[in-house]
Structure formats: structure tokens, C-alpha cells
């Protein structure tokens, strides 16, 4: 071959190698893109004769287009995300991986920044775009297995991260770490975690952190979430912890709302939740196998709220606690106003039941300055009737206060099983006695009122002649001019009053004696029968 021919062959080989190196996902049989390569859609199902595997990477054949806005990969047997696979795509907004059998991640697989290194050469030729990119949105849905989420798999500027119906083998330390700025939302839905290492979630700020319908097959280690700031809501809903929730497993600052709802935990150690809230806390409708001393004692109110005396609610309602240590439920009253109701305990009722004195504590600085609201436990706690309660309903839940009233003596001793019937009988007798007394009193007042009739003030009879001096008929005594008249004011009658009248006269002794004798013969005691 002539030198010219050799030169031509070399040029063709160089151009071919450049064309091969320039191939992106858009050139693979599993993927298709629009004309601008901004929308990338990959599905292994549409080409069953081709490989059912896709590798996402930033460089080399099959790389992610640098101008892509959205990347979606679905229905593949295996998807592998290489380190910094999306870092070169500065305009990228969303990455969706859905319905995949196996998803493998390298270190820094979803690390991303809006000034990725892959664009350094283009900066020399393209004007700088003045806009604020909110970050990459990553959604992983319906993945059968993610063997490992390695260290720094998620870092940089991320707008949101969502795992939905995913099974994760192990989450390594710093898997979610060093996120730039404020991430909008990190959410795990219906996700199973085989193992989560310490500091798996560390040092980032997020508006909402949500665990919903998740299951932790291993323990939740100490500092699983640590140095995390949540602006709006920290929520654990329908979460199952089959292992131990260790002390300081959740170390979070700043949520406006903290919720643990409809969840189950085998064992919660002391200070498992160290959450400094800027708003209310709700622990509702949960089942705890065992609570150690002060399981929620580290749930407190932010110091600025305390300084402003801005008290928040701590609602602990409709929870079941099978076993517990003394002071298992310690509530910080330095900034909270606790409200406890429907507390179902796995203890038998008794006379006395010591657990009621040791279960709940209110404190501003535990273990100092502690108050034990026994009265509240008696009114809100439900316990099981013991097998020797005498009425044959072993295991039935009953409110502690009702059990005391039915079975216990005032001094705390055990009463008979029929104590409630005795109390009912005494109450019925008391009611019957009171009713009879009221009926008798009403009858007596009515009878007494009917014996006497007052003369009304409007009666024309204002005076009555009740006494005359001298003998009867027209005999001596001078007639009407010697009559003595008793005036009854306003015609009223003086009841059962006996009047004695003494008449004094001047004259001989015989006449005076005769007048007095005549008076005693005629004058009679006066009563109100007149």
C-alpha cells in the first residue's frame, strides 16, 4: 500500500474510534431518546433478544447524555450505577429506576453537582447559565434487591430521594451523607432493611424525613441517624423494628412535627429518640414489646422555644406496652405539656399494683425534679384482670381505676370479688332512704298547712270582739261600753296563743272580787281557732 493509502486507513480508524466513544445510551438497543437527547427512556422488555442489563455511567460507550433532563430505566434484570454516573449531566433533573430485579450501586453512584467535572471543557466554549438548580430527584421503585447502598452513594445536591417497595441488604456508613444545601424530602415507603450500619444517615439538612411501611430486620444501631436537621416533619409510620432500637438511634434536630404512629418495636432502649422539636410530638397507636427506662426522655423542645415559654403538646395515646422498666415513660415538662390516654400495659391488675407508681414520670431535669402522676395512670391505663379475680374473666382488659373500685379496699388491700355488687346495694339503699324521707317531709308540710287558715290582709274583718266584762245577757256590767276589744293587726291570726287578761278596778273589795270571779267564769283561753 502506498503511503497515502496508509494515511487514509489510519484516519478511518481514528474516526471510527471517536464515533464508538461518542455513543451514549441513546445508541443502545434498550434505550430511545428524543431529538435533543433530553428525554432518555430505557426498557429491557421491548428487546427480549438483547441483554437484559444496563450500566449507567458518565464516560465511555453507553454513557448518560450530557444534555439529558430525565433518565428512566424500567423492566431490566440488572441495572448497575457506576461512580458519579450522572455528574456530567448538568441539566439533569430526574432519575427513575423502576421494576428491576437487581440494582447495584458503586460508591458515589448518585453523587451529583450542578457544576460537574464533565463540563469543565465546555465552560470554555459556552456562556455561564445564571440559574439555581434545586438538585437531582432520584426515585427507585419496585426493586427486588439492592444488595448494598455503599458509602457516599447519595451525596452532593439532591432535591429528593425516594425508595418505594425496595429490599435493601445493607446500608453502609455515610451512605446518605454530605448533601449540599437543603434536600426537600427523603422518603422510604414499604422498604425492607436487612442491616443498617451506624452513621448511615449523617450530617445533612432536609425538609421532611419519612419512614412509612418499612421493616428493619436487624437492629437500629446507635447513631443510625445523626447530626441531621429536619425543618418540617420527622415521621415514622407503620414501621416495624424486629430488633432493638438502640440508645440514640435517632439524633435529629429541629422538626416542627415529630410522629411515631402505627408502628411496632420489639425493644426500645433508653433515650432511643433524641429529638429536639420546634413543635408538637405524637406517639400514637403503637405496640412496644419492651420499653427501657426513659425511652422517650430525650424528646425535648428546642431551647429557643423553651426560652420563649412556647409550650408544645406531647400526645402519647392508644399505645400498648407489654413490658417496661421503672420510669419507662419519662416526659420532659420543661417545654412539653404531656397528654397520656389509652395506655394498655401488659401487666395484671392488682391491689395494690406497684407498676402504676413507677411507669410514668414528669420531669424538667430527669432524674431530678421528677413528679409521678399516679392519678393520671389510674385514669388512663388499662390492665388485664388476674386469674384469681373471682369472676372468671381472666385476661379481660379493664381500666385500672374501675378495677380498684370493684376489687380493692380503700387501704389498697384486696377486696372480695363481689365488692362491686356490695357497692351497688349500698347505693340503692341510700337512694331509697332519701326518697322516703323526701316523701314524708312533703306530706307533713301539706298536712300542717291545711290545719290553719290565715285571714288575708284584704279581709274586711280587721278586728274581733273576743272578751266581754260582766255577766251574760243584759246583766250588770254596763253593756257594750264595758266591752274589751282585742285588735288583730291586718286580720292575721295568732296561732295557739293563750291570752290572760287582768282587769283592775277601783271600788269596794266585794265588787272587785265579784268582777274578777265573773271574769274567770267567762274568759277562756284564746287560740287561733277564732
- What's the pLDDT at 287? 97
In 3-state terms, what secondary structure has residue 281? strand
- What's the pLDDT at 238? 98
Is the pLDDT confidence value at 204 over 60? yes
The count of other CB atoms within 10 Å of the CB of residue 417 is 14
User: What CATH number is given for 134-408 in this structure?
Assistant: 3.80.10
Share of the chain above pLDDT 90, in %: 55
Is the pLDDT confidence value at 97 over 90? yes
- What's the pLDDT at 23? 86
Is the pLDDT confidence value at 388 over 70? no
Domain ranges (residues) in the chain: 134-408
- What's the pLDDT at 491? 53
Distance from chain centroid for Cα 289: 19
DSSP of 451-497: H--PPPTT-S--EEEEEE-S-STT-SS-GGGGEEEEE-GGG---TT-
Local confidence band at 225 (pLDDT 50, 70, 90 cut-offs): very high
Is the pLDDT confidence value at 292 over 70? yes
pLDDT digits (tens, 9 = 90+) for 60-72: 999 999 999 999 9
Burial zone of 508 (CB within 10 Å; 0-12 exposed, 13-18 middle, 19+ buried): exposed
User: Higher confidence at residue 323 or residue 430?
Assistant: 323
Q: Across residues 455-475, what is the average pLDDT?
A: 46
- What's the pLDDT at 116? 61
What cell was used for 477?
256590767
Local confidence band at 473 (pLDDT 50, 70, 90 cut-offs): very low
pLDDT digits (tens, 9 = 90+) for 480-510: 444 444 555 555 555 545 555 565 655 555 5
Start-to-end Cα distance in the chain: 164
Local confidence band at 114 (pLDDT 50, 70, 90 cut-offs): confident
What cell was used for 190?
414499604
pLDDT digits (tens, 9 = 90+) for 307-336: 988 899 999 999 999 999 999 999 999 999
Closest CA to 252 of 221, 223, 295, 281: 223
Q: Across residues 83-91, what is the average pLDDT?
A: 91
Q: Which residues contact 479 (CB under 8 A, 6 or more apart)?
A: none
Closest CA to 32 of 40, 21, 22, 24: 40
**Cα radius of gyration rounded to whole Å, the chain:** 48
Q: Across residues 275-294, what is the average pLDDT?
A: 97
pTM comes to 0.72
Amino acid at each position: 500500500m502506498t503511503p497515502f493509502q496508509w494515511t487514509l486507513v489510519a484516519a478511518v480508524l481514528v474516526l471510527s474510534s471517536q464515533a464508538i466513544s461518542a455513543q451514549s445510551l441513546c445508541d443502545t438497543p434498550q434505550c430511545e431518546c428524543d431529538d435533543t437527547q433530553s428525554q432518555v427512556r430505557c426498557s429491557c422488555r421491548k428487546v427480549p433478544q438483547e441483554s437484559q442489563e444496563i450500566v449507567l455511567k458518565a464516560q465511555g460507550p453507553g454513557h448518560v447524555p450530557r444534555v439529558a433532563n430525565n433518565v428512566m430505566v424500567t423492566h431490566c434484570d440488572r441495572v448497575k450505577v457506576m461512580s458519579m454516573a450522572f455528574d456530567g449531566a448538568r441539566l439533569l433533573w430526574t432519575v427513575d429506576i423502576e421494576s428491576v430485579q437487581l440494582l447495584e450501586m458503586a460508591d458515589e453512584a448518585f453523587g451529583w453537582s450542578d457544576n460537574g467535572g464533565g463540563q469543565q471543557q465546555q465552560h470554555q466554549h459556552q456562556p455561564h447559565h445564571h440559574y439555581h438548580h434545586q438538585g437531582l430527584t432520584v426515585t427507585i421503585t419496585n426493586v427486588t434487591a439492592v444488595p448494598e447502598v455503599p458509602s457516599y452513594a447519595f451525596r452532593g445536591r439532591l432535591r429528593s430521594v425516594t425508595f418505594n417497595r425496595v429490599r435493601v441488604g445493607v446500608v453502609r456508613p455515610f451512605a446518605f451523607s454530605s448533601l449540599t444545601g437543603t434536600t426537600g424530602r427523603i422518603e422510604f415507603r414499604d422498604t425492607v432493611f436487612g442491616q443498617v450500619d451506624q452513621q448511615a444517615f449523617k450530617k445533612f439538612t432536609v425538609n421532611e424525613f419519612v419512614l412509612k411501611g418499612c421493616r428493619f430486620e436487624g437492629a437500629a444501631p446507635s447513631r443510625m441517624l445523626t447530626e441531621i436537621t429536619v425543618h418540617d416533619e420527622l415521621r415514622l409510620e407503620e414501621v416495624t423494628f424486629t430488633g432493638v432500637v438502640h440508645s440514640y438511634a435517632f439524633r435529629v434536630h429541629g422538626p416542627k412535627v415529630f410522629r411515631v404512629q402505627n408502628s411496632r418495636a420489639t425493644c426500645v432502649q433508653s433515650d432511643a429518640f433524641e429529638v429536639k422539636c420546634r413543635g408538637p410530638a405524637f406517639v400514637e397507636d403503637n405496640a412496644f414489646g419492651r420499653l427501657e427506662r426513659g425511652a422517650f426522655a430525650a424528646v425535648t423542645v428546642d431551647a429557643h422555644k423553651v426560652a420563649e415559654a412556647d409550650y408544645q403538646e406531647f400526645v402519647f395515646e392508644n399505645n400498648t406496652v407489654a413490658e417496661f422498666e421503672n420510669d419507662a415513660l419519662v416526659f420532659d415538662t420543661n417545654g412539653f405539656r404531656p397528654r397520656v390516654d389509652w395506655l394498655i400495659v401488659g401487666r395484671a391488675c392488682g391491689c395494690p399494683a406497684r407498676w402504676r407508681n413507677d411507669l410514668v414520670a414528669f420531669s424538667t431535669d430527669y432524674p431530678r425534679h421528677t413528679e409521678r402522676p399516679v392519678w393520671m395512670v389510674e385514669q388512663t391505663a388499662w390492665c388485664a384482670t388476674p386469674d384469681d379475680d373471682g369472676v372468671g374473666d381472666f385476661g379481660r382488659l379493664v381500666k385500672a381505676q374501675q378495677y380498684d373500685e370493684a376489687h380493692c379496699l380503700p387501704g389498697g388491700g384486696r377486696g372480695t370479688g363481689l365488692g362491686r355488687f356490695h357497692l351497688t346495694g349500698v347505693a340503692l339503699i341510700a337512694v331509697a332512704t332519701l326518697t322516703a324521707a323526701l316523701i314524708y317531709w312533703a306530706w307533713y308540710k301539706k298536712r300542717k298547712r291545711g290545719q290553719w287558715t290565715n285571714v288575708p290582709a284584704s279581709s274586711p274583718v280587721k278586728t274581733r270582739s273576743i272578751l266581754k266584762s260582766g255577766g251574760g245577757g243584759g246583766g250588770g256590767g254596763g253593756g257594750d261600753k264595758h266591752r274589751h276589744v282585742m285588735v288583730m293587726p291586718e286580720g292575721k291570726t295568732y296561732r295557739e296563743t293563750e291570752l290572760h287578761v287582768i282587769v283592775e278596778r277601783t271600788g269596794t273589795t266585794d265588787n272587785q272580787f265579784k268582777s274578777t270571779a265573773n271574769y274567770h267564769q267567762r274568759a277562756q283561753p284564746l287560740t287561733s281557732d277564732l
